[in-house]
A and B are shown apart, each in its own frame.
Chain A
Amino acid sequence: MSHHILELKDVHFSYPDGIEALKGISFRILHGESVGLTGANGSGKTTLLMNLNGQLLPTKGGVSIGEIPLNKKTKQEIKRKVGYVFQRPNDQLFMPTVYEDVAFGPVNLGLTPEQVDERVKSALETVGCLHLSHRPPHRLSEGQKNAVAIATVMAMKPDILVMDEPASNLDPKSRRQLINLLKRFEHTKIIASHDLDLILDVCERCIIIKDGKIAADGPAEEILLNKTLLEENNLELPLSRQNVIYKGLNLKATKAIPEKGLTT
């Protein structure tokens, strides 16, 4: 299905105050691919994501989704195709109740009340939050807000899912649930995160951004195990691959941990 291909050609973006956040980014993401986007703070991840669904328009170069080039005219259509999950769920959830929030997108798509109801219920079901439908967002926990924020986007049935730091502020269990949820989605996914373990778990491809340019683009397993590359970008090996195992350590050991016990 060629219409889910996301293509960036030499995308530049400068903010009105003159800061050039993106300096020529090109890549192509195929249907069903899940791509992790990482890089140091301020490297341009969020700016890049905002250029993908028309919140910002590239100052030079072009973004196209399928055969549609992103411009002022096609912005509305692109927004429907590219679902954007914001970093802070409090920004994403603005309606008085969870149900209405999830329904906001489908209603704007002009669906009938029955279709809206069905979409809302199935989206909430997917993220396991159906029981929260009548709660106001300010009475949810951070993990619940996060899940509902994803549901609001899922209810629009986007072709491509874009997420900005989906796991920040989550406790380990909620984070694990989120990872399992993301693994189940068959959408094309683009996830910006510093949580490299999450990227390793969910994505098969990884792009590292440095100063508005692509520093690396390749299979996640390869890139995320390249220690020097990661360190150049203010990152470090994913925790799960640091392999620090206290070998000799067990409950019976009374001596201090021997130096040799630490293997890297």
Chain B
Amino acid sequence: MTFDSEYFNIGYLDSLSYKDTFVHRLDPRVKLLVSFVFILFVVSFPKYDLSGLMPFFIYPVFLLTAGDIPLRVIAKKVIFVSPFALFIGIFNPLFDTSVLLTLFGIPITGGWISFLSIIVKFILTVSTALLLIAATSFLGLCEALERLKLPRVFVIQLLFLYRYLFVLLEETFRMLRAKDARSFGKRGSEIKTFKRLISILLVRTVERAERIYQAMLSRGFRGEIRMLRRHTLRVQDFLFALFSVSLFYVFRHYNIVSILGETLGRTLR
């Protein structure tokens, strides 16, 4: 993974959020809250309850398809962070060896079940968070956070982060290219060089911050930034929130998979 490809990756995720689909049009506050509630529901499942989690896949799948977001982009990122979840659960099969059920004659221990449920919970929560970002413009998210009463200082920090992320990345990009153009093989790519690059980047950033602050002062900045309000809650936002949260509630309290299985079994018999 090189710096260049990562740079374009961020740009790509950013460009996805400018699409215009049902999911993109939803009020960011609603998307944020529903996703948060979703994550709470998912993590509230007991560790052996694997089948109960399955219906929850409907939410990320909905965001993915209705938001017209390529599965590959999200899957790649989920896999990229998956080691964290793997290492949390990897020893469960060793410690918890009580046999819970036998499938086709193979005994399945509680450890394996709880390990799998950690993985499933991880996929559900992380993919939802990523999809939320991909299907909501960063500004929308910031607006949502602001209107949900997050302290303004944090929101403004995020906004500046978003504004200058690309500028700073390009600056780094140029410096790295200038370094590459004059270094051959290992010479010129020592840690020492990178230490200097980073320190120069820091100095330049401080100088830039100074100039930006002057630009803000020149236009009457007195410690307050007011943001535009782009979104208003509409009927579909309420319906979406109501429908999804009640669906999560049903999934949490009734094991849809076993109910389905039983009905299917009964009709077959």
Interface residues of A (CB under 8 A from B): 50, 53, 55, 76, 79-80, 83-84, 86, 88, 90-92, 94-97, 99-100, 103-105, 107-109, 136-138, 152-153, 156
Contact = CB atoms under 8 A, between A and B. Distances in A.
B167 interface: yes
Nearest to A155: B219
Contact of B218 (A84, A100, A136): A84
B220 A108 contact: yes
Given A100-B227, A103-B228, A91 B215 contact: yes
Contacts of A138: 163, 166-167
A76 to B, nearest CB: 7
Nearest to B227: A100
B221 interface: yes
Nearest to A153: B219
Contacts of B221: 104, 108
B167 A92 contact: no
A97 B211 contact: no
Given A94-B163, A96-B162, A100-B227, A55 B220 contact: no
Interface in B174-215: 208, 211-212, 214-215
A156 B163 contact: no
Contacts, number: 71
Contact of B216 (A88, A94, A136): A94
A181 to B, nearest CB: 20
Nearest to B208: A91
Interface residues of B, number: 27
Contacts of B167: 90, 138
A41 to B, nearest CB: 17
A104 B211 CA distance: 16
B222 A108 contact: yes
A105 B215 CA distance: 10
B14 to A, nearest CB: 9
Contacts of A99: 228
Contact of B220 (A50, A94, A100, A105): A105
A95 B143 CA distance: 13
B220 A80 contact: yes
A213 to B, nearest CB: 25
B153 interface: no
What 8 A-B pairs come out closest when comparing CB atoms?
Answer: A108-B220, A105-B219, A91-B211, A138-B166, A84-B218, A96-B139, A92-B215, A55-B214
A99 B226 CA distance: 12
B203 to A, nearest CB: 15
A76 B219 CA distance: 9
Nearest to A80: B220
A107 B227 CA distance: 10
B218 A55 contact: yes
B163 A96 contact: yes
